[in-house]
Amino acid sequence: MKDIKWDERGLVPVVVQDFKTKDVLMVAYMNDEALDLTLKTGTAHYYSRSRKKIWLKGETSGHTQKVHDIYLDCDNDTILITVDQKVAACHTGFWSCFYRAWENGWKIVGKKMFDEKKVYGDKGSEK
């Protein structure tokens, strides 16, 4: 972990990619504790900047991410992880958080996998 260039808050951005489809699912952040938990458990843990605490991806929804590989970029300041995504990555119900494309305005192009209100109620996302 000493090779990682953590930012001033002790965080590093993490790009999450589906192991099979190669879809980019989401971008999150890790601190050293989240990375350590991810390495020890084989399941993705992140640091929530809004709640200021560690969260296990899927702890609320059950939509977990089993980690396959972890890569560090050439500048040592971004991590890429490949995962087996269960159900969907996005708290809004889409497979990927990148479900909109610019086509003279933002157009939904992704696949909705679940109704977020049924999973999260009115509380919002697990982030």
Report pLDDT digits (tens) over 43-94.
999 999 999 999 999 998 899 999 999 999 999 999 999 999 999 999 899 9
pLDDT of amino acid 109: 94
- The better pLDDT of the pair 111, 48 is held by 48
CATH number at residue 97: 3.10.20.810
Structural domain that includes position 59: 12-117
pLDDT of amino acid 2: 84
| DSSP H or E stretch at residue 79 | strand 79-85
Residue 122 lies in a domain: no
The DSSP code sequence of 19-88 is TTT--EEEEEEE-HHHHHHHHHHSB-EEEETTTTEEEETTTTT---EEEEEEEE-TTSS-EEEEEEE-S-
Number of domains in the chain: 1
pLDDT band (50, 70, 90) for residue 123? low
pLDDT band (50, 70, 90) for residue 125? low
Residue 123 lies in a domain: no
Q: Is 37 exposed, middle or buried (0-12, 13-18, 19+ CB in 10 A)?
A: middle
Residue 102 lies in a domain: yes
Residue 48 lies in a domain: yes
- Look up residue 100 and give its two tokens: 């909109």
Residue 78 lies in a domain: yes
Residue 42 lies in a domain: yes
